[in-house]
Amino acid sequence: MSEQLKVPTMAEFMAEGKQPEILFWVGSAGSYDDRAKKITKAFVKILNKANVDFAVLGTEESNTGDVAKRAGNEFLFQMQAVMNIEVLNAYEIKRIVTCDPHSFNCLKNEYPSLGGNYDVVHHTQYIKELMSSGRLTIEGDTYKGKRITFHDPCYLGRANSVYDAPRDVLKKTNATLVEMKRHKGTALCCGAGGAQMFKEPEKGDMDINVLRTQDALETKPEIIATGCPYCNTMMTDGIKTKEKESEISVMDIAELIANS
């Protein structure tokens, strides 16, 4: 990326005796996965553009433990949670935003009973907030009239009933929003959840991401929008399986907004 991103850490804020507006929880995928890192940077670009006073934990952040919990390893989850909560509480974090619905769900719902109480929002909710308060405006017409279909991430949609924020944000790009047959509450999983991302699928007739990609293709989209790094990987793979990668791109809402 040519332009310099400003990514202050909590440690730096602490040294200056300041508190940021929000903590940006980057998450493991957002930190290490090549595709997801682009989403992370796109979101930082948005935060910079809207002059949001934010910080990341940087090397002090560790995996939320979400995936371990869903794999059945409650020990590992709680170890991770307790460690992260110690760091977050030491920095007196109040508000967290993340691009990963799995981290979002875990921090929001599963950390409180272990002593971690924060106001946690998903980046699509936060972008919507920035737009409604006038801190972020879309000037360009990059996506005007483009056919975009939004794939609801399970841990954003069904798990936490966040269906409108991503759609409201997408509408601001003046794109043509087309819904898949299965959407919102009945949306089909991309196939990555519940630790499936990290293992081969069980024997079956087809892969879940391919079935979900078929759902998306039925809407004849130019872009498949997601709000989750894992969904992004799964849908991107699905598009490749269907040999449609030259016509259709899979993009996170943060990227769409950052490009607008």
Partner 1 sequence: MEYLPNILFAIILVLGIGYFARNIKKLIRNIKLGQEVDASDNKSLRWKNVINIALGQSKMVKRPVSGFLHVIVYVGFIIINIEVLEIIIDGLFGTHRIGLKLLPESVYGFLIGAFEILAVLVLVSVIAFWIRRNVIKLKRFLSSEMKGWPKSDGNIILYFEVVLMCLFLVMNATDTSFQNLGHGNVISQFIAPWFGDNPDTLHMIERTAWWLHIVGILIFLNYLYFSKHLHILLAFPNTYYGSVEPKGKLNNLEAVTNEVKLMMDPNADPFAAPAEGAEEEAPAKFGASDVMDLNQIQLLNAYTCTECGRCTSACPANLTGKKLSPRKIMMDTRDRLEEVGKNIDANKGEFKDDGKQLLGDYITNEELWACTTCNACVEECPVSINPLSIILEMRRYLVMEQSAAPMELNNMMTNIENNGAPWPYNQMDRLNWKDE
Q: Which of residues 84-123 bind partner 1 (CB under 8 A)?
A: 105, 108-110, 113-114
Q: Considering beta carbons, is residue 75 or 132 the nearer one to partner 1?
A: 75
Q: Considering beta carbons, is residue 194 or 222 the nearer one to partner 1?
A: 194
Q: Considering beta carbons, is residue 83 or 131 the nearer one to partner 1?
A: 83
The CA distance from 66 to 74, in Å, is: 9
Q: Considering beta carbons, is residue 142 or 241 the nearer one to partner 1?
A: 241
Identified binder of partner 1 from the candidate list 2, 16, 17, 199, rule CB under 8 A? 199
Q: Considering beta carbons, is residue 158 or 172 the nearer one to partner 1?
A: 158
The CA distance from 46 to 259, in Å, is: 9
Identified binder of partner 1 from the candidate list 3, 16, 139, 198, rule CB under 8 A? 198
Alpha carbons within 13 angstroms on the beta-carbon side of residue 137 total 2
**Residue 134 CB, nearest distance to partner 1 (Å)?**
28
CB 63 within 8 A of CB 26: no
- Structure tokens that stand for 78 in this block: 């709680």
Site for partner 1 in 44-83 (CB under 8 A): 56, 58-59, 61-63, 65, 67-76, 78-80, 82-83
CB 217 within 8 A of CB 197: no
In the numeric block, the tokens 């009239």 are attached to 145
Q: How many CB atoms lie within 10 A of CB 42?
A: 22
**Residue 24 CB, nearest distance to partner 1 (Å)?**
11
The yes or no reply on residue 9 touching partner 1 (CB under 8 A) is: yes
Interface mask toward partner 1 for 10-29; x: CB under 8 A: ----------------x-x-
127: nearest Cα among 175, 172, 187, 184: 172
Site for partner 1 in 203-222 (CB under 8 A): 203-208, 210-212
Q: Which stretch binds partner 1 (CB under 8 A): 14-22, 135-143, 202-210, 216-224?
A: 202-210
Q: Considering beta carbons, is residue 175 or 238 the nearer one to partner 1?
A: 238
The CA distance from 70 to 230, in Å, is: 15
Site for partner 1 in 32-51 (CB under 8 A): 32-33, 37, 40-41
- Give every strand in the sheet of 223-226, ordered side by side: 176-177, 147-150, 223-226, 249-252
Q: Facing residues of 149 across strands?
A: 224
**Residue 160 CB, nearest distance to partner 1 (Å)?**
5
- The beta-strand segments (E) located in 20-156 are 22-25, 54-55, 95-98, 119-122, 147-150
The CA distance from 182 to 164, in Å, is: 15
